[in-house]
Structure 1
Amino acid sequence: MSGVTGAGHGRVEIRRAGAADAPAVAALHARAAGRPDDGMEGLHSWERAILDGNGRVVCAALDEAVVAVAAFSRGEGRLEDTVTLTELHVDPAHQGRGIGSRLHAACLAHWRAELIVQAQLFVDRDNHRAREFYLSQGWFSLDTDPDQVLLHLDVESVG
């Protein structure tokens, strides 16, 4: 999964994250979530995610600096044709430039190549910006709980 596209200022490369990207990904995650960097714990968590054989971490790099990240994992057994999108973050300084949409499209292409037919994710109920983004990308809600909204995506029918 790799591709280079324009994004306003500079060139955006969508690629699988490598171990060397973990510090930048952890820092980006903290900035995008609006909380302080959680130091080594966050770094180790992202290192594990990047190196995990079941999961995938994909990043968008603008002039070689990581500006967005997506992480997902494939289901097992009867859910092997399903992925859970666990993270999709764009650095706040780079939001609104289409980078998140390009990263999402790269995930879709990867899922289709892996014969994934369904995706799911949880979004905090109060995160209206994220909910609007996912709905604009073809996700839909089937189920809710008091704190989170469960969204689904029929991978074969979008984009």
Structure 2
Amino acid sequence: MIRNAVPADLDAIAALHAEARASYYRGHLADELFDSPAEHARMRAGWEAGIGRGVVLCAERRGAVVGVAASGEIDGVMNLAQFHVDPARWRAGIGTELHAACLASWRRTGVTTVRLEVFEHNTRAQGFYARQGWLPDPDEPRTGNHLVLRLEIG
């Protein structure tokens, strides 16, 4: 089931995000850049704000949050700011279902273009996004150590 996140989901979302982030950053970045108390507090505050604005979707299975996505507009362009699935549940269709819910939400609000940034070493996520139709952004193909992808919604 995909639903809007509520404040009671915050702990589960923060834990899922920390685990997912560690799965792709570990070995490529210093741990303190993604796995420190200060970084966890910063990310938790971001999720809390997103939940408060109503821009966070959760994938739920048997009462547990197993996926999460957050999107919002930046400078007039919709951005998929966060998209994570519990690493223990990869390849189970959760990401595809969550992505479809994001698409449906964007279509309902008339969004025609979405962008995202994906860590250059996260080839698993890059493959997922490619299967969903995302392409390199021709206007800004990368920012720092992240690739920029764009999805045109038909």
Query: Common fold, TM-score beyond 0.5?
Result: yes
Change over 3 Å in CA distance of 1:90–1:98 after alignment to 2: same
CA contact (8 A) 1:26 1:43 kept: yes
1:29–1:89: 8 Å Cα contact kept in structure 2?
Answer: yes
Q: CA deviation at 1:124?
A: 1.1
Following superposition, the deviation at residue 90 of structure 1 comes to: 0.3
Give the distance between the partners of 2:144 and 2:70, measured in 1 at CA.
Answer: 24
TM, length-normalised to structure 1: 0.80
Structure 1: distance between partners of 2:20 and 2:148 = 20
Matching residue's letter, 1:117: T
Following TM superposition, where does structure 1 have runs of at least 4 consecutive aligned residues deviating by more than 6 angstroms?
A: none
What do the CA deviations read for 1:59-107 (whole angstroms, capped 9, x no partner)?
Answer: 100011000000100245xx2xx31001110001111101000000000
Contact map agreement 1:112 1:155 (CA 8 A) in 2: yes
From 144, 147, 150, the equivalent of 2:148 is 150
* 1:126-151 per-position Cα deviation (integer Å, ceiling 9, x unaligned): 11111111011000002134511110
CA RMSD of aligned residues (A): 1.7
Partner residue in 1 for 2:13: 25
Contact kept in structure 2, 1:119 and 1:153, CA below 8 Å: yes
Question: Which amino acid letter does the alignment assign opposite residue 148 of structure 1?
Answer: H
- Which aligned pairs between 1:67-146 and structure 2 lie closer than 5 A? 67-75=66-74, 79=76, 82-141=77-136, 142=138, 143-145=141-143
Whichever structure has more helix as a proportion of its residues is 2
When you count strand as a share of all residues, which structure comes out higher? 1
Quote the Cα distance in structure 2 between the aligned partners of 1:37 and 1:100: 26
How far apart are 1:49 and its partner, in Å? Answer: 1.4
Aligned residues: 138
Secondary structure (helix, strand or coil) at the match of 2:16 reads helix
One-letter amino acid of the counterpart of residue 149, structure 1: L
Unaligned residue ranges in structure 1 (runs of 5+): 1-12
The percent identity for this pair of structures is 40
> How many angstroms apart in 2 are the aligned matches of 1:44 and 1:62?
25
